[in-house]
A and B are shown apart, each in its own frame.
Chain A
């Protein structure tokens, strides 16, 4: 695999990128521009210069650039997965987007509203109506039962007791904790606690949902179930989701786009196919090197609309790995690819697909 264009600036891909089922580009749900969060003795001063300082320069002066000049925009109903090594600033970015911490510089717009310009009341309103968040370390209230924890956001909104109880029981059942409503957090396992956190954030049916490693403590089985549940919810309700994970497979299953962070900056933000095929930087290339690319790349990504070929078309949303048999057994140079509606997307070169298929073999 060759590196396509190492000099290309970190892609801050247009919002319209790949929100499925959204033909015309709608107004983005979240936009942030030039977002910075710097920790240290004098964060504002460190950014004061005419040109933004590099990460190394900031470190030199004793600052930590937790989020470094991030610009991105998220379409409504899009699921953006944020990945990156530990300490790369994922949680901090999400906290800036929900304004749990004040960014040092930059702008954030949520549904057209200037987030950083909101006063306290406005912020509270926004969170009560639109936002939900699942926390990395669960962050449950230790003195409240599962039911009371889940009902907490509803209680803050001033909902009536009976109503919030009913709603809380619903979501508790949804996350599979039925029968444990009256337990206290310390009486639950890590995975169960995590599911309480998920249920809590679900209770108010937020439009915008921040999920900070929401499945990290779940066993593979439940994790899969929860992922399915998420996909179902998103399909049904069209939520905008920012999802942090360390698990690339999870990212693949869920994401529309992936943002890869490194030392606070977004290195690349794009669809999984393009990230593995055209890594924007050295770092992304290294980050994705170990990934079985044939399982990531879809036929549609290899299809060249300028070409056409004979034969039964393969579906564009099938991964190369899934098409392995056909690729090996076929002898044609070009294989036609069709979109979900049966329309032709062009054809892909078989050798390129085979290269991908065998690139991961030792």
Chain B
């Protein structure tokens, strides 16, 4: 074992000093192993076969047992039926599906007007225009059908996630043992890549829209659980006491005091659920969920980039719309009406809406286009994109290709080879050393444990390729994001603007990021890394700005008064103070990058993601989960290191 026993006297607070010698020894060990790689026995170079545990088989056996012998099929089938039934209804109403209530499809004009009124009612006319405009865009550009199929899925998955998340969160809040059980599971669940969810769902529920919805529900529930617990816990004890003194029973306390008071947090949870749903619904197209994601996948596979861009815009519009609407809902504060306001004035918006709906119903009898714009007649922006795509393919190709070639030959391939050539024992020693340096024996053991799991999983090489892609992407993301963040943080105004942009970017489903890079580089490693870089740079920028803005003004003034220049202030005060927060951003970048690298497998990489795609197509739950856990554990290792470091640093800086 490389994680040596704790010989140094344990000092409270885990100061790095006594831990250093051991960390240093571990680093030396790693270095020696690398230098003497040629002389090492094969078992020290790559995890030998006897070490590899057939975890996939175990999981498959367990799954089969649970699935068939425990009669879980009855449960899963009931759930699948429920979801399918609900989907029939929403699909019927929104996308004109034939199941469900057998009602006519809602005319697009009605949806657009409702969207506008909703946005207006929740916030202002701008939000109304965004919502109304999004629906109009979908209708006018012939994407109504797909867009509504996507929305129909979300309309089923999001409420289910919210209910499920609320119930679980409530249970966790109520019973400490539920929380103790749930929280580690949530940690793993939230660092499992999207694909890892798809495989068991396919095995249990087959493929199709209901399977997509179920995968989405499972994927989107964790944030709701967390925020429910948080919200319930944050309710001021005095408010609860006031409820008790009013003679409220337990149920009344929950219903009338706790839940309404925790409303804000829970609605933030709803917002996150909706965004997660959208991200997953797009990816669920891999298991046959219909809608925009499915079309996007088709176009990307067929390299119809112009069309893909158009769909991408739709997805982005829907994402921004859903995000802003649900956030406006969360921020909405009740406002009172003056006494004696007549009821029609209180419900003015509702009445206007009803009137407009009636008008639409009447108008759709006059002209078909009010109800639906036929796809053949629909406008298209492809004429806009196609020339750009063509131009990129013809004119820019030599340049992008040269860049690609240079990157591949001089950086990517050598790096990849270096990662692959590193003895696994050296990686273990290195990681344990880093762990020890950051958080002492415990962190060393945690990190070594994660690496060992990867080693015995049998996917060492694939994991190293994943690690290589993530490290390159993260390095590039930091190289771009850090200076940009610092530059943007120079004034309050530009910082706010940049944060808004980051916000918006973060609402896009990750899949979307593939479109521009494929446009530029085609389908290969460089494109994949490019997508990861864009996706991963966003948190770097965001947390850099937030960290710099968070430096107490009094300290800045103190430096200014000592005659420091801007640069001196940045280096001697702001960056060190902001570093812990930036570390959290880096952590998120790594997480995002891991997810994105796995998704990018779809455009042909050779890492864990590619194997996961294979597991998906062969319905191999065990393999899929083991691969997913490998990814999750890499992520959790970085998460552990970053958070431990940031917490320690914060304490040292007295930032609470």
Contact = CB atoms under 8 A, between A and B. Distances in A.
Interface in B333-356: 333-339
A285 interface: no
B256 A145 contact: no
Interface in B295-336: 333-336
Interface in A120-156: 120, 124-125, 127-128, 131-133, 135-145, 152-153, 155-156
Contacts of A124: 247-249
B394 interface: no
A235 B174 CA distance: 44
A183 interface: yes
Contact of B244 (A100, A125, A184): A100
Nearest to A144: B260
B236 interface: yes
Contact of B242 (A128, A133, A183): A133
B257 interface: yes
B241 A135 contact: yes
A133 B245 contact: yes
A166 interface: no
B491 interface: no
Contacts of B247: 124-125, 127-128, 153, 156-157
Interface string A166-192: 000000000000010111101100000
Given A124-B249, A152-B246, A182-B339, A141 B241 contact: no
Given A139-B236, A141-B260, A152-B256, A100 B248 contact: no
Given A127-B244, A127-B247, A128-B247, A137 B261 contact: no
A137 B244 contact: no
Contacts of A132: 245
A98 interface: yes
B260 A135 contact: no
A274 interface: no
B245 A184 contact: no
Given A135-B238, A135-B241, A139-B239, A145 B336 contact: yes
B252 interface: yes
Nearest to A153: B246
A138 to B, nearest CB: 8
A155 B249 CA distance: 12
A95 interface: yes
Given A156-B252, A157-B247, A135 B339 contact: no
A186 B333 contact: yes
Contacts of B263: 143
A139 B260 CA distance: 14
A195 interface: no
A225 B248 CA distance: 31
Contacts of B333: 184, 186
Contacts, number: 85
Interface string A90-133: 00000100101000000000000000000010001101100111
B293 to A, nearest CB: 37
A343 B352 CA distance: 78
Nearest to A135: B238
Interface in B239-278: 239, 241-250, 252, 256-257, 260-261, 263
Nearest to A151: B246
Contacts of B243: 141, 152, 156
- Which among B247, B250, B336 has the highest number of chain A CB atoms within 10 Å? B247
B261 A142 contact: yes
B555 to A, nearest CB: 30
A293 interface: no
A257 interface: no
- Which among B245, B333, B338 has the highest number of chain A CB atoms within 10 Å? B245
A200 interface: yes
Contact of A139 (B241, B250, B252, B338): B241
Nearest to A181: B339
B338 to A, nearest CB: 8
Interface in B216-249: 236, 238-239, 241-249
Given A139-B239, A142-B261, A152-B256, A131 B245 contact: yes
A201 B257 CA distance: 16
Contacts of A137: 236, 238
Nearest to B264: A142
Nearest to A183: B336
Contacts of B339: 179, 181-182
B248 A156 contact: yes
B242 A139 contact: yes
B334 A184 contact: yes
A124 B260 CA distance: 21
Contacts of A144: 260
A127 B249 contact: no
A182 B239 CA distance: 20
A348 to B, nearest CB: 45
A119 to B, nearest CB: 12
Interface string B433-449: 00000000000000000
A127 B246 contact: yes
A143 B261 contact: yes
Contacts of A184: 333-336
B241 A100 contact: yes
B238 A139 contact: yes
- Which among B238, B239, B338, B339 has the highest number of chain A CB atoms within 10 Å? B238
A95 B260 contact: no
B575 to A, nearest CB: 38
Contacts of B238: 135-139
- Which among A132, A138, A152, A156 has the highest number of chain B CB atoms within 10 Å? A156
Interface in B17-51: none
A185 B244 CA distance: 19
A127 B339 CA distance: 32
A260 to B, nearest CB: 24
A143 B336 CA distance: 11
A140 B261 CA distance: 10
Interface string B615-652: 00000000000000000000000000000000000000
A183 B333 CA distance: 12
A3 B236 CA distance: 44
Nearest to B241: A100
Contacts of B245: 98, 100, 127, 131-133, 153, 201, 210
14 contacts: A128-B247, A137-B238, A139-B236, A141-B243, A143-B261, A145-B334, A152-B256, A153-B247, A155-B256, A156-B248, A156-B256, A182-B337, A182-B339, A184-B334
Interface of A: 95, 98, 100, 120, 124-125, 127-128, 131-133, 135-145, 152-153, 155-157, 179, 181-184, 186-187, 197, 200-201, 210
Which 5 interchain pairs have the tightest Cβ spacing?
A128-B247, A153-B246, A139-B238, A139-B242, A182-B336
Given A128-B247, A152-B243, 14 more contacts: A100-B244, A120-B249, A127-B246, A133-B245, A139-B238, A139-B242, A141-B260, A142-B260, A143-B334, A153-B246, A156-B249, A181-B339, A197-B242, A201-B245
